[in-house]
């Protein structure tokens, strides 16, 4: 996260914890805490562990989807297939449920594989055939939506009980289990970020030609970004299925715009090269929390939209103003 | 002083060679899109014997007119490296204000421009956020979109009333020499749009801005004005599409713009523009809009279940993208393809 | 007194699902208002806003105006957002939630949690499969099969038709279409030339119908779900020849059916389909339970199918459904206005102003509902899960076949 202030891979290694606060993720974290404080003051039960678990369960699918989208956005791409992959994996989970913990593992593997395949197709179209990402992934999204409709033509089906009960439960009565999946994604990211591929991701996003000249395989990086993103969407579909317990061929559609909003709110530049996955996850959590705050604040439904829009803009404006004031975020 | 002149002349020169290449490449690309449309229309005879007819062409052009107007604005925004997600909301705003404030009462001649001005104001608000507050276009236009939808909802209390002004009915329902009025409108709009984008100083500034902001600034492009205007134009276009839809269906609903967001971007991109800005051509965009609409009419005639039709639709778009790949043209013309960014 | 057959039916329901708890209203009438939430999907079309408006109007009609604290929440088309909204409502101590559910299945878990906390859930129009929620819906009343038979009758059993459907992947759309296909399949002379999705919207219907007309200019009839007025427009755009068609309850469609000039051009058919009045019925039922005027365990309740053939269209003189009228003159309401928002028996308190603005009628007071409620049949994945549908699921209720296959 701290590394998002610099674009050259070599300087990224010297990330300092001090910079955390002024990074995109730091700012959105502060925002989240502030909103939660408001929420708790309006609704005292907000501090109970069951309310928090519900909130986490609600936020997890979007948070993971946004995390996947971040990979592609960092490499200066767009990936609309997020909506298609989530719908597709969700109907697969509901139509072909696998019972028990082992079944859950099989389901998870299927979801990751489906996402990975779609990601590979995207990677082939964008990285190798050089199609424009937004158009190519629009096409794959449409194809995935069609596949989802073929598999399940109306909402229905049942996700395996083990998945839908265990994964939405709490560990030791406090820790939401779904949150652990997010944690796993974060840990994987922290490791990946330090690999050559991870460093390449920032370099390609910041300046493709420079990255190419310094010996990074742009094709390989882009391809990997799409495949990784696809697999993470698969995980998002898996978690969504755990939460809703049934299938819906249109379940991925709402994620399209929200995922991008979460990415941007989390401080990742939509033109690539700057930002990080953790910010996006916090961004997603903030978007979901905002609904709760507006509800408990008693904002009339007609004006909820106006509030949401204004908060979105203010968050970004203050975030970047704050970053500029502290002078950490140099213009790339 | 001298250095600035140097940079400027260098930039101009670069622009000229760029332009020469651009016209070359994009003309080819635009022609290819149109050829693909014709091929698709002819091939659709295989699906149903009534297809592949002149009648189909007229229907496609009538239905494409909405998307053409919309993607002109979207195209200008994309040209500067932005993106406008507020189009569906502004379409609705334009439509709803037209039926509730004007209806089939008098005063359409001054009220219609007034409604368009309000829509333009929405675009201006987006632009202010983007240019001065430095909010990313994606987020800013998404936020205006949410705000405008919410306002339209509050304004109408959920049920838009009123009907279409006569002049819009005339525009969308009239016909002359057996050809529907929207087709004439589409042709005129396409020509004017092409001139604005490719043959005016404003258009040149947009390309300069989208290619390299700093260079454009040094070359004396009025950056602020040129950054703001596309959003205003885009919102006015969207408002006008709202009016066209009102004329077409003689009424407004609060969801009338919903289905236009991704198509407006897709038309621009399929037409050969880069989503990263700085290149593209309106002729290609018009072709892209017509191509997408053609795909829709052909798909509608295929007697398969919806899931399979959706898959075929995605497949056709993919094939079109692969056929329209720049490298393919460059290879065809025997040029040694310079590596270009994918994006 | 109201221990009639429905109690028996509900007892059976309770036995079937083993969840026969009659939710105890959390707050009795100790001077505290009932906390009721109205949870909507998108509020973008006339149907949705009319349904919401009449609930608001009823909540403002005496004596409910002193008993109810009503809060409206709009969740868009995202089930996650509605899940989150339900959770907030449960936390806030809701007594009841009247809702148009976005998904028939995705909300189940949250609803169950709410039921356990003593919240009453009343779903209108769309349904959920969670047995502890009340579904009040016309969906089982056979719109698809009855309207399909009406179209077949008009066409004399043969012809090329279009199906103008709703939203792909939606259970309501699927139920209607399955019902219609059960009829069309019996007639080999009926050819489904095109089938397209119109998203229950006039404009989309018009554009999709226009596209289908290119391939099949010789269509003989159209079976449409909501948005039917757009199909008429598309036919008129094509040169004025109309065909027999069935559709839902927009005022524009009803006026067109009754218009001699349109009939001259070939328009015939039936207006049926989803009535927004369901929301009002659901709300009143819920209030009667909360105020202990009625005992009713969670169940599926069928709302009667509106059924108005062309010769039965009657234009209202006033602002209410009186003397059997069922449409309003041009200009009183927009053409997309869904007329079946009023009901002289179930919702006598309301007028079109209530439907348009959410305002109560001056001087009106809440009238008690008829004691009997009609039990809806089981339909898997629509109002129950893992259940068996009755053998005669698609039997005709409104019309007899006049032509044999």
Any domain includes C81: yes
Any domain includes B251: yes
Q: How far is C361 from chain B (nearest CA, A)?
A: 18
Q: Hey, which bits of B109-261 come out as E strands? A: 175-176, 179-180
Phi, psi (rounded to 5 degrees) for A76: 70, 50
- Which of A126, A144, A312 has its CB closest to that of B342? A126
Phi, psi (rounded to 5 degrees) for C94: -65, 145
| Chain A / chain B CB contacts < 8 angstroms | 153
- Chain C residues in contact with B310 by the CB 8 A cut-off are 168
- Chain B residues in contact with C213 by the CB 8 A cut-off are 59
Same domain membership, residue C177 and residue C59: no
Q: Would you call A154 and C169 a contact, using CB atoms and an 8 Å cutoff? A: yes
Closest chain C CA to residue A148: C169
Same domain membership, residue C103 and residue C175: no
pLDDT at residue B16, as a whole number: 54
Q: Would you call B313 and A142 a contact, using CB atoms and an 8 Å cutoff? A: yes
pLDDT at residue B77, as a whole number: 92
How far, in whole angstroms, is CA A309 from its chain's centroid? 20
Final residue in a domain of this structure, among C272, C289, C320: C272
Same domain membership, residue C286 and residue C240: no
Closest chain A CA to residue B81: A271
- Chain C residues in contact with A298 by the CB 8 A cut-off are 71
Beta bridge partners, C194, equal C162
- Chain A residues in contact with C103 by the CB 8 A cut-off are 155, 244, 246, 248
* A70 reaches C (C-beta below 8 A): no
Closest chain B CA to residue A331: B134
* C195 reaches A (C-beta below 8 A): no
Q: Would you call C81 and A298 a contact, using CB atoms and an 8 Å cutoff? A: no
SS (H, E, C) A182-241: HHHHHHHHHHHHCCHHHHHHHHHHHCHHHHHHCCCCHHHHHHHHHHHHHHHHHHHHHHHH
Any domain includes B278: yes
The enclosing domain of C291 has a CATH number of 3.40.50.2300
C261 has pLDDT over 80: yes
Final residue in a domain of this structure, among C272, C293, C314: C272
Same domain membership, residue C96 and residue C28: yes
For residues B166 and C296, the model is more confident at C296
pLDDT at residue C245, as a whole number: 93
Neighbours of chain C (3+ CB pairs under 8 A): A, B
Any domain includes B20: no
Q: Would you call B251 and C210 a contact, using CB atoms and an 8 Å cutoff? A: no
Q: Would you call C214 and B254 a contact, using CB atoms and an 8 Å cutoff? A: no
Q: Which of A104-125 are b and which e, b meaning 16 or more Cβ less than 10 Å from the residue's Cβ?
A: beebbebbbebbbebbbbbbeb
Contact predicate A227/A79, CB 8 Å? no
- Chain A residues in contact with C88 by the CB 8 A cut-off are 43, 291-292, 295-296
3-state DSSP assignment of residue C302: strand
Number of compact structural domains in chain C: 2
Q: Would you call A149 and C169 a contact, using CB atoms and an 8 Å cutoff? A: yes
DSSP, res A128? I
pLDDT at residue C289, as a whole number: 94
Measured between alpha carbons, how far is C54 from C5 in angstroms, rounded to an integer? 29
* C81 reaches A (C-beta below 8 A): yes
List all residues of chain A from 80 to 119 with a beta carbon under 8 Å from chain B.
80
CA angle C257, C260, C266 (to 5 degrees): 65
Q: Which pLDDT tens digit goes with each residue over A238-260?
A: 999 998 888 888 888 888 888 98
Measured between alpha carbons, how far is C288 from C296 in angstroms, rounded to an integer? 10
Contact predicate C290/C120, CB 8 Å? yes
Reading across the β-sheet that carries C269-272, which strands appear in turn? Answer: C190-197, C159-165, C221-224, C245-247, C269-272, C307-309
Write out the two tokens for C131. 């047995």
pLDDT at residue A331, as a whole number: 36
Any domain includes B338: no
Which residue in B245, B290, B174 sits closest to C237, CA to CA? B174
- Chain A residues in contact with B262 by the CB 8 A cut-off are 80, 138
Closest chain B CA to residue A73: B343
Which residue in A34, A74, A24, A2 sits closest to A322, CA to CA? A24
Q: Would you call C108 and A246 a contact, using CB atoms and an 8 Å cutoff? A: yes
Residue C13 pLDDT class (50, 70, 90 cuts): very low
Q: Would you call A77 and B343 a contact, using CB atoms and an 8 Å cutoff? A: yes
- Chain A residues in contact with B214 by the CB 8 A cut-off are none
- Which of B136, B307, B314 has its CB closest to that of A139? B314
Q: Which pLDDT tens digit goes with each residue over B212-245?
A: 888 888 888 888 888 899 999 999 999 999 999 8
Phi, psi (rounded to 5 degrees) for B230: -55, -40
Measured between alpha carbons, how far is C76 from A258 in angstroms, rounded to an integer? 13
The arithmetic mean of pLDDT across residues B63-77, rounded, is 91
Any domain includes C316: no
pLDDT at residue C162, as a whole number: 93
Q: Would you call B139 and A125 a contact, using CB atoms and an 8 Å cutoff? A: no
Q: Would you call C212 and B63 a contact, using CB atoms and an 8 Å cutoff? A: no
Any domain includes C391: no
Write out the two tokens for A139. 């096409």
The arithmetic mean of pLDDT across residues B300-312, rounded, is 79
- Percent of chain C at pLDDT exceeding 90: 39
* B140 membership: H or E segment, kind and range: helix B137-156
Same domain membership, residue C146 and residue C132: no
The arithmetic mean of pLDDT across residues B40-49, rounded, is 80
Contacts of B303 (CB under 8 A, 6+ apart): C192, C193, C194, C195
- Which of C71, C81, C174 has its CB closest to that of A153? C174
Write out the two tokens for A318. 């203050």
Same domain membership, residue C281 and residue C256: no
Neighbours of chain B (3+ CB pairs under 8 A): A, C
* A320 reaches C (C-beta below 8 A): no
Q: How far is C105 from chain B (nearest CA, A)?
A: 21
pLDDT at residue B24, as a whole number: 62
Domain membership of residue C41 as a residue range: 5-138+275-306+340-357
ipTM: 0.78
Q: Which pLDDT tens digit goes with each residue over C114-138?
A: 999 999 999 999 899 899 999 999 9
Same domain membership, residue C134 and residue C11: yes
The enclosing domain of B240 has a CATH number of 1.10.3470
Any domain includes B18: no
Any domain includes B4: no
* C168 reaches A (C-beta below 8 A): yes
Measured between alpha carbons, how far is A59 from A287 in angstroms, rounded to an integer? 8
- Chain B residues in contact with A265 by the CB 8 A cut-off are 139
C76 has pLDDT over 80: no
Q: Would you call C199 and B254 a contact, using CB atoms and an 8 Å cutoff? A: no
> Cis link prior to C299 (omega < 30° from 0)?
no
B337 has pLDDT over 50: no
Q: Would you call C206 and B53 a contact, using CB atoms and an 8 Å cutoff? A: no
pLDDT at residue C254, as a whole number: 92
The arithmetic mean of pLDDT across residues C353-357, rounded, is 88
- Percent of chain B at pLDDT exceeding 70: 87
| Chain B / chain C CB contacts < 8 angstroms | 113
Which residue in C358, B150, C44, C41 sits closest to A302, CA to CA? B150
Count the residues in chain A: 332
Any domain includes C242: yes
Contact predicate B269/B276, CB 8 Å? no
Number of compact structural domains in chain B: 1
- Which of C43, C83, C171 has its CB closest to that of A58? C83
Residues of chain B with a CB closer than 8 angstroms to some CB in chain C:
47-48, 50-51, 53, 55-56, 59-60, 62-63, 99, 153, 157-163, 173, 245, 248-251, 253-256, 258-259, 296-297, 300-301, 303, 306-307, 310
pLDDT at residue B122, as a whole number: 94
The dihedral through the CA atoms of B330, B331, B334, B337 has a sign that is positive
Least confident of A205-209, A215-219, B50-54, B95-99: B50-54
Domain membership of residue B273 as a residue range: 31-44+66-330
Contact predicate C294/C2, CB 8 Å? yes
3-state DSSP assignment of residue C187: coil
Measured between alpha carbons, how far is C137 from C376 in angstroms, rounded to an integer? 8
Contact predicate C231/C208, CB 8 Å? no
For residues C185 and C6, the model is more confident at C185
Q: How far is B331 from chain C (nearest CA, A)?
A: 37
Closest chain C CA to residue B92: C44
Provide CATH code, domain A2-326. Answer: 1.10.3470
Closest chain C CA to residue A249: C169
Same domain membership, residue C98 and residue C13: yes
Q: Where are the domains of chain A?
A: 2-326
Widest CA span in chain C: 67
Measured between alpha carbons, how far is C95 from C97 in angstroms, rounded to an integer? 7
Q: How far is C265 from chain B (nearest CA, A)?
A: 18
Per-residue pLDDT of chain A (332 residues; tens, 9 = 90+): 333 334 444 444 444 544 555 567 788 888 889 889 988 888 888 788 888 888 888 899 999 999 999 999 999 888 999 999 999 999 999 999 888 888 899 999 999 999 999 999 999 999 998 888 888 898 999 999 999 989 988 787 888 888 887 888 777 777 888 888 999 999 999 999 888 888 888 988 888 888 888 888 889 999 999 999 999 999 999 999 998 888 888 888 888 888 988 998 888 877 778 888 999 999 999 988 888 888 888 776 667 778 878 888 887 787 777 766 665 443 33
The arithmetic mean of pLDDT across residues C337-341, rounded, is 88
Q: Which pLDDT tens digit goes with each residue over C136-164?
A: 999 999 899 999 999 999 999 999 999 99
The arithmetic mean of pLDDT across residues C68-76, rounded, is 85
Q: Would you call A43 and C91 a contact, using CB atoms and an 8 Å cutoff? A: yes
Measured between alpha carbons, how far is B322 from B325 in angstroms, rounded to an integer? 5
Write out the two tokens for B284. 């290609």
* C93 reaches A (C-beta below 8 A): no
Final residue in a domain of this structure, among C250, C272, C294: C272
- Which of A146, A270, A320 has its CB closest to that of B311? A146
DSSP, res C337? -
Q: How far is C125 from chain A (nearest CA, A)?
A: 16
Q: How far is A194 from chain B (nearest CA, A)?
A: 24
pLDDT at residue B342, as a whole number: 41
Q: Would you call A61 and C74 a contact, using CB atoms and an 8 Å cutoff? A: no
Q: Would you call A135 and B274 a contact, using CB atoms and an 8 Å cutoff? A: no
């Amino acid at each position: 996260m701290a590394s998002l202030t610099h674009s050259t891979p070599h300087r990224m290694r010297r990330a300092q914890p001090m910079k955390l606060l002024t990074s995109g993720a730091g700012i959105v974290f502060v925002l989240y805490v502030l909103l939660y404080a408001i929420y708790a003051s309006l609704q005292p039960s907000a501090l109970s562990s069951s309310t928090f678990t519900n909130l986490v369960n609600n936020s997890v699918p979007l948070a993971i989807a946004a995390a996947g989208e971040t990979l592609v956005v960092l490499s200066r791409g767009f990936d609309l297939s997020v909506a298609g992959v989530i719908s597709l994996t969700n109907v697969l989970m509901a139509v072909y449920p696998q019972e028990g913990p082992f079944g859950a593992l099989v389901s998870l593997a299927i979801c990751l594989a489906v996402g990975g395949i779609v990601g590979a197709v995207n990677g082939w179209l964008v990285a190798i055939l050089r199609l424009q990402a937004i158009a190519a992934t629009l096409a794959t999204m449409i194809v995935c939506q069609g596949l989802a409709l073929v598999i399940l033509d109306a909402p229905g089906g049942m996700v395996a009980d083990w998945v839908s009960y265990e994964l939405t439960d709490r560990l030791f009565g406090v820790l939401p289990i779904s949150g652990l999946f997010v944690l796993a994604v974060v840990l994987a990211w922290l490791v990946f970020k330090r690999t050559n591929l991870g460093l390449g991701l920032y370099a390609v996003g910041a300046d493709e030609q420079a990255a190419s000249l310094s010996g990074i395989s742009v094709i390989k990086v882009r391809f990997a970004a799409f495949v990784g993103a696809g697999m993470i969407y698969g995980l998002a579909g898996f978690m969504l299925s755990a939460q809703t317990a049934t299938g819906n061929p249109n379940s991925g559609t709402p994620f399209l715009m929200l995922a991008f909003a979460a990415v941007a709110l989390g401080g990742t530049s939509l033109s690539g090269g700057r930002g990080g996955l953790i910010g996006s996850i916090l961004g997603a959590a903030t978007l979901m929390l905002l609904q709760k705050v507006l509800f408990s604040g008693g904002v009339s439904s007609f004006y909820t939209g106006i509030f949401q829009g204004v908060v979105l803009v203010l968050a970004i404006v203050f975030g970047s103003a704050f970053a500029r004031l502290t002078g950490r975020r140099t213009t790339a | 002083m001298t250095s600035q002149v140097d940079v400027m002349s260098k930039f101009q020169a670069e622009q000229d060679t760029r332009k020469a290449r651009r016209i070359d490449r994009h003309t080819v690309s635009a022609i290819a899109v149109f050829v693909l449309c014709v091929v698709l229309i002819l091939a659709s005879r295989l699906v149903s014997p009534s297809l592949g007819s002149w009648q189909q062409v007229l229907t496609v052009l009538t239905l494409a007119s909405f998307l053409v107007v919309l993607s002109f604005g979207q195209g200008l925004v994309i040209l500067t490296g932005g993106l406008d997600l507020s189009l569906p909301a502004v379409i609705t705003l334009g439509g709803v204000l037209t039926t509730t404030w004007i209806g089939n009462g008098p005063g359409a001649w001054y009220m219609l421009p007034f409604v368009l001005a309000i829509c333009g104001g929405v675009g201006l608000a987006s632009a202010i956020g983007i240019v001065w507050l430095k909010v990313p276009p994606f987020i800013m236009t998404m936020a205006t979109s949410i705000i405008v939808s919410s306002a339209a909802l509050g304004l109408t209390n959920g049920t838009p009333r009123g009907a279409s002004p006569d002049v819009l009915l005339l525009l969308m329902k009239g016909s002359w020499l057996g050809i529907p009025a929207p087709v004439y409108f589409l042709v005129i709009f396409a020509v004017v749009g092409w001139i604005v984008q490719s043959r005016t100083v404003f258009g040149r500034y947009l390309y300069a801005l989208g290619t390299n902001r700093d260079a454009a600034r040094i070359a004396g492009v009025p950056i602020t004005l040129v950054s703001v205007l596309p959003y205003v134009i885009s919102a006015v276009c969207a408002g006008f599409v709202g009016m066209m839809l009102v004329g077409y269906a003689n009424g407004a609903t609060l969801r009338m713009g919903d289905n236009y967001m991704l198509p407006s971007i897709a038309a621009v991109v399929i037409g050969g523009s880069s989503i990263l800005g700085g290149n593209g051509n309106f002729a290609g965009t018009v072709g892209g809009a017509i191509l997408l609409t053609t795909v829709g009419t052909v798909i509608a005639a295929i007697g398969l279940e919806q899931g399979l039709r959706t898959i075929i639709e995605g497949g056709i778009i993919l094939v079109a993208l692969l056929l329209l790949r720049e490298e393919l043209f460059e290879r065809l013309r025997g040029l040694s393809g310079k590596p270009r960014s994918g994006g | 007194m109201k221990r009639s057959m429905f109690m028996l039916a509900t007892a059976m329901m309770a036995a079937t699902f083993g969840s026969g708890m009659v939710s105890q209203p959390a707050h009795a009438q100790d001077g505290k208002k009932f906390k009721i939430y109205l949870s909507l999907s998108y509020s973008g079309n006339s149907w949705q806003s009319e349904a919401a408006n009449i609930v608001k109007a009823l909540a403002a009609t005496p004596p409910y105006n002193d008993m109810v604290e009503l809060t409206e929440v709009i969740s868009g088309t995202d089930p996650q957002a509605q899940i989150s909204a339900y959770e907030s409502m449960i936390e806030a101590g809701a007594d009841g939630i009247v809702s148009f559910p976005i998904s028939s299945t995705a909300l189940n878990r949250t609803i169950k949690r709410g039921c356990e906390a003593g919240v009453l859930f009343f779903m209108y129009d769309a349904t959920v499969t969670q047995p502890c929620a009340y579904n009040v819906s016309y969906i089982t009343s056979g719109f698809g099969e009855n309207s399909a038979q009406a179209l077949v009758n008009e066409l004399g059993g043969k012809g090329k038709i279009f199906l103008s459907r709703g939203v792909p992947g939606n259970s309501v759309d699927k139920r209607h279409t399955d019902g219609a296909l059960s009829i069309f399949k019996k007639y080999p002379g009926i050819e489904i030339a095109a089938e397209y999705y119109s998203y229950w919207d006039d404009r989309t219907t018009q554009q999709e119908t226009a596209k289908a007309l290119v391939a099949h200019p010789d269509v003989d009839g159209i079976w449409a779900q909501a948005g039917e007025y757009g199909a008429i427009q598309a036919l008129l755009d094509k040169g004025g020849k109309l065909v027999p068609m069935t559709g839902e309850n927009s005022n524009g469609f009803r006026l067109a059916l009754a218009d001699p000039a349109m009939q001259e051009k070939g328009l015939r058919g039936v207006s049926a389909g989803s009535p927004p009045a369901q929301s009002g019925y659901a709300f009143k039922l819920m209030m009667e339970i909360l105020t202990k005027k009625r005992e009713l365990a969670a169940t599926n309740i069928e709302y009667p199918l509106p059924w108005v053939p062309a010769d039965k269209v009657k234009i209202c003189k006033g602002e209410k459904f009186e003397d059997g009228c069922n449409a309003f003159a041009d200009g009183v309401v927009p053409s997309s206005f869904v007329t079946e928002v009023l009901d002289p028996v179930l919702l006598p308190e309301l007028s079109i102003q209530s439907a348009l603005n959410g305002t109560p009628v001056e001087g009106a007071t809440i009238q008690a509902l008829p004691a009997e409620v009609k039990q809806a049949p089981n339909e898997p994945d629509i109002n129950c899960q893992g259940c068996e549908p009755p053998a005669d699921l698609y039997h005709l209720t409104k019309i007899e076949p006049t032509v044999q296959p």
